[in-house]
Amino acid sequence: MARQLFGTDGIRGVAGEYPLDAATVFAVGSALGHWVREHGESPEVVIGMDTRESGPRIAAQLAAGLVEQGARPTLAGNITTPGIAYLTRKDSFVAGVMISASHNPYRDNGIKVFGHSGFKLPDEVELELERTILARRDGSNGVPEHPLIVEPSLDNRYLEYLAQIAPNSLAGLKLVVDCGNGASHELAPILLRRLGAMVETIGCEPDGRNINLGCGALHVDKLQEQVKAVGADAGFAFDGDADRCIGVASDGSIVDGDAVLLIAARHLLRKGQLGEPVVVSTVMSNLGFEKALQAEGIKLLRAPVGDKYVLEEMIRSGAKIGGEQSGHVIFLDHATTGDGILTALQVLRVMVETGEPLTELKAGFVSYPQVLINVRVKHKKPLKEMPAVEAVIAQAETELAGDGRVLVRFSGTEPLARVMVEGPTQEKVEELASRIAAAIRAELA
C-alpha cells in the first residue's frame, strides 16, 4: 500500500487544506490516541509547535482526537523538533508530536510523530496509522477542538539537557545566531548567553507569518554579512523547527552539513571517540566531502535523502555521526534526530578544545561545483522505462569520467524530478544538468 499522508518527514501541506484540514487533523489525533493506548501504560502525548499562526489550532484539533480516545495531551508550546524528541524519550510520554513544516513558508504546516524511543515512527507504523486515519476521517458534524495550556517546565528541561552536554564555557566568543523567526528564537540565545558567549540575534521576532522569511538556514546572506560586520567568531542559522543548522565562519564562508560532519568526525577520530571510522550522509553530499573523509581514513556511507534514512543507516552501521548537506546533523550519542542547537554546540566545542577558528577547522574540504535542477512533471515514471533519459545520463557519466556524480530522483512530496550533477567545473555541471533536465522535460513535462 502506497502512503497517502506520511511523506519522508511526517504529514505536510497547506494549513487548513487536506491533509491538514480540521477533519483529517482530528482523525490523526484519534488514530494516534488509539495507538498510544495500545502501546503504553500511561497514554500521554507531548505536543510542541513552531511559531506559525496555524500551530495552536492544529494542536487543539489534534488534542481533541487524542482525548476522544482516552489519551492525555500535554502542550510544550514553542519548542524545537529535537526538543520534542528528547522529551518523548526522557519522560513518560508514549508519543510526541511536533507541529511544524520545518523550512517551509508560514502557510504550510505539518505533523511529525515520535515514539517513546525518541525516534520517528517506522514506515510500517505510519502505514498502520494512515489506515486508521482515513477510516475515521469525517468532518460532517464539525470538528471539536481541545485547547491546551502550555507547560513551561518542558522547554526548560530540554535547555538544561543541552547545557549539560555543552562546552563548559563559551566566554570570549562572539556569536551571531539567526533563528529564522522559528522555534529556537528564545531557546538558542538564552542557552548561548548562559554559557558565556556574546550573542547578537537575527530572526528572533516571530509574528506567526515571518518564519523562514528571508532568514534562517535557507537564507544565510544576512548572517554572513552580520558575522563579518561585527567581527564575530562564528554564526549559526536554524530553520523553523531548528532541526537543522548552517554555520558561518568569521570570514563569512558557509559551513554546511557536510563541513560540520567533517569537522566533528576529524575531532572525534583524533580523540579516539569516533568508534567505527564511518560517517553517514545522503546521496546529495558533495564528492569533495567524501574525498576529505577518505584522506582521514573515514568511510562515507550514503543513504536516501531524509534524516530518517540517515538514522537507519547509522544504526545499521554503528556510526556515531551522520547527517545531510542541508544541515540536519545527528550526534547519536546525544540525540535521536537532527538538532540544530546541539550541532552548533558541537562545532563550538571543537573550536574551544582546539583553539582553532572555523576557517581552519574546515581546511581540506574543497567543495565540488554542484547543480540541482527541479523539473516539474505531470507524472512520475521509473528511469528504466525512459531509455532516452537513461542514455543522456549515461553519456554525462562518461564525460565526467569518475571525477563527478550524476543523481536523478523524484521528490517524495512534490511533482518534481530532481537532477543533481557535480563535477570539476561549474560550466561543465551546468551543461550536463541542463541536458538531462531537457530530456526529462521532453518525456514527462
DSSP letter at 193 equals H
Instruction: Say which residue the cell 555543552 belongs to.
Output: 166
In the predicted model, is pLDDT for residue 199 greater than 70?
yes
> Looking at domain 6-155, does it have CATH number 3.40.120.10?
yes
Give CATH 3.30.310.50 domain extents, the chain.
370-444
Q: Give percent above pLDDT 90 in the chain.
A: 88
> Looking at domain 370-444, does it have CATH number 3.30.310.50?
yes
With beta carbons less than 8 A apart as the criterion, state whether 65 and 103 touch.
no
C-alpha cell at 45: 502525548
Mean of the pLDDT values across residues 197-213? 98
List Cα–Cα distances, 325 to 81, 176, 352, 427, in angstroms: 19, 21, 24, 22
Sign of the dihedral through C-alpha 86, 87, 90, 92: negative
Give CATH 3.40.120.10 domain extents, the chain.
6-155, 166-361
- Give me the torsion for CA of 323, 327, 330, 336, rounded to 10°: -120
Q: How confident is the model over 19-57, as pLDDT tens digits? A: 999 999 999 999 999 999 998 778 999 999 999 999 999
Supply the pLDDT for residue 415.
Answer: 87
Mean pLDDT for the chain?
95
In the predicted model, is pLDDT for residue 363 greater than 90?
no
Mean of the pLDDT values across residues 402-410? 91
Supply the pLDDT for residue 40.
Answer: 75
Supply the pLDDT for residue 413.
Answer: 67
Q: What is the DSSP string of 220-237?
A: -HHHHHHHHHHT-SEEEE
Supply the pLDDT for residue 411.
Answer: 83
- How many Å apart are CA 443 and CA 386, to the nearest integer? 8
- Considering 30, 54, 100, 102, which one is annotated as catalytic? 102
Instruction: Say which residue the cell 538531462 belongs to.
Output: 436
List Cα–Cα distances, 286 to 10, 19, 300, 379, in angstroms: 26, 34, 11, 29
100 is catalytic: no
Kindly provide the b/e burial profile for residues 107-138, where b requires at least 16 CB atoms within 10 angstroms of the residue's own CB: ebbbbbbbbbebbbbeeeebbebbebbeebbe
With beta carbons less than 8 A apart as the criterion, state whether 189 and 177 touch.
yes
In the predicted model, is pLDDT for residue 1 greater than 80?
no
Q: How confident is the model over 238-266, as pLDDT tens digits? A: 999 999 999 999 999 999 999 999 999 99
With beta carbons less than 8 A apart as the criterion, state whether 232 and 359 touch.
no
β-pairing verdict for 95-99 and 44-49: parallel
> Looking at domain 166-361, does it have CATH number 2.40.110.10?
no
* Prediction pTM value: 0.91
In the predicted model, is pLDDT for residue 2 greater than 70?
no
Farthest CA pair distance, the chain: 64
In the predicted model, is pLDDT for residue 344 greater than 60?
yes
Mean of the pLDDT values across residues 407-430? 90
Reduced to 3 states (helix: H, G, I; strand: E, B; else coil), residue 238 is: strand
List Cα–Cα distances, 67 to 26, 36, 113, 135, 136, in angstroms: 10, 12, 17, 18, 15
C-alpha cell at 187: 531557546
Q: How confident is the model over 138-172, as pLDDT tens digits? A: 877 788 999 999 999 999 999 999 999 999 999 99
Q: How confident is the model over 65-106, as pLDDT tens digits? A: 999 999 999 999 999 999 999 999 999 999 999 999 999 999
